[in-house]
Structure 1
Amino acid sequence: MTTQAMLGDNTYTLERFPLDQKNRSLQAWDSGDEYLINYVNEHHSECRSLLIINDSFGALACAFNTLTVCSVNDSYISHQAAAYNLQANNLSTAQFSQLDSLSALPAEVDLVLIKVPRNVGFLQFQLSELSAVLPEGTPVIAAGKTKDIHNSTIKAFSHYLGETKTSLAVKKSRLILSQASGHYIATEFPVRWPLEGTEFTITNHANVFSRDSLDIGARFFFNYLPQTSKVRDIVDLGCGNGVVGLMVLSRCPNARLTFVDESYMAVESARLNIADNLSEQYDNCQFIENDCLTGFTPNSVDVVLCNPPFHQAQAVTDHIAWQMFKQAKETLKVGGELRIIGNRHLDYHDKLKRMFGNCKLVGSNKKFVVLSATKNS
């Protein structure tokens, strides 16, 4: 993996997180970062304070480390990466702060930089939050891959902020140049919808997968969830809005559930969904933002349930699934079970069999498989 990044006039060593990922071809910055840095250095050299949004691995935080920087992200892993890369490059953190995606944004900044997220609803939420705090005329500059910047993207900036234009493409990336109008434009998030076949109502923050309805994978997984009156320690790993854990709690009244996700919005959605729908079991739950199961006590859990992601930021990769499986095995008690759902083509069966020494097919349809692996030693 390339780690030497020439950003502006300086070279930095930038690591992509998690550090032990197997796919070493991925790097911690892209041409959008380079374009933003060069543009700011050329056109906003007087800038002293920056609000940076969606800086995946801290490339922008490192490049602008001499300024007062507030970095906002929905990813726990991104927060860890930025802190690590600043320290690894011996850069001061005296003027650097980080906020999660649900925190109030600072208003007194000279300039806002955004890496455009894939999730359109999440972008709308972020632009709405900016419209609530930025004084009129505050410049906002966003970067993204040319193929990911559509007319709808430009319309979102125009709607929530004001006059917007785009730059020429450089290295397949493009800038969006906008400025705050000083007027707050509200958005619909979080959204609420009834969970089919139940009396539950689901709350979804903007950056949570399948935000408007139950996704087809979770719907299929519901058919193969644990159901027992025994006391069990269960982890909903990569919990999203927590619907899987919610259904498990409804079927396992004595279970202790831990909801884990790297997304602050996902964990908060899960927390709200338990509080709103099964408040009597809320005290038996934990809600944790984390890098998978890093730091969890070994041999402490009876069941890990998981729907592994196969992408990180803009990259398609299976390293997060590998990490989830490996850490699940470490965290499970002997005799404990990892139960997952995944797309048929991802060949998780082979991965689990190699790692656990066993794997059985619990259920399948044309699109998904539900697999179970047991920790035998």
Structure 2
Amino acid sequence: PAGAAGAWPPPEAQAVDLDGFYAGLAEHGYHYGPLFQGVRAAWRLGDDVLAEIVLPEAAGADAARYGMHPALLDAVLHAARLGAFRERSEEKYLPFAWEGVTLRTRGATAVRARISRAGTDAIRLDVTDTADRPVLTAESLTLRPVSAGQLMAVPRDSLFRVDWVSAPAANGPGLRLARAATVEAALAADADIVVVPCLDSEGPHQATYQALELLQRWLAADTGTTTLALLTHRAVAVGDDVHDLHHAPLWGLVRTAQTEHPGCFRLVDSDDPDPTTDVLAAALATGEPQVAIRDGAVLAPRLTAASAPREPAEWDAEGTVLITGGSGALAGIVAQHLVARHGVRRLVL
């Protein structure tokens, strides 16, 4: 920012009493663990809120791994609760959409934030470190109301599963769709979305290598705004069995690519090995990154709370339990649980 930063806090700023601040947030449905309770001091200056936020010592060593540690950034937003930035102050609000975000300093552990109005239900953030060096600015962060029922709809100790639900209907213009059987044909196609079927291969290794080459060549080429969609046949379980084990691994591969390159790739799994162009267009027009077509219906995956089984599972203490992916931290926790809680004595990791 231009000009000197001046005194901190400004002499005319009015201190805010933070006694019981996080307890009060919890009463309103915002539950933050110790790592996220970083607001240490706050002031009001006209309509603006000024705040000092410190990353707890337990997380300080990790700060350098991030542009801005997520617990520190989240705590900056907590201070917005101290200002009159919401149209309906009695409502609960959550962050929704960011615009004009610039990161200027990485790895900060203690910051000063100035939060000001940026329109209806929107705030501006100007964050500096304790030496007044710019850390982060956000021209606008839009807040959206959320009901108490939405916040508390899922118990905090829930287990989760993936359910396939009806995908939302398309509400935009029609898509220009093209099908391509080879990488070269896919790269040459002139369409909004190019569909490449992954239906034939000699085994899962070959299928995965072929798909990997396709994704890499697609990213290396200048495809503009065209999206690549990979089509599989019964390679993912949607209330039914997986029939194509050769191409089931492609879903894991492409999901990873989708995370690294948002908007570039789509996944479609069909119970018909050769769905019509109209069916494919309806599935892809939903905008969902992953869809399945079953009996003509378009389904999308959603994470939902899993109800606990009515009766606890019985384990044979003399039997052997197989834990796949058994070299990771989660496998160790599962193994310990099986031994301590269920009396299992033989494990294969």
Larger Rg: 2
Same fold (TM over 0.5): no
Q: TM-score, normalised by structure 2?
A: 0.25
- Identify, as 1 or 2, the structure richer in helix: 1
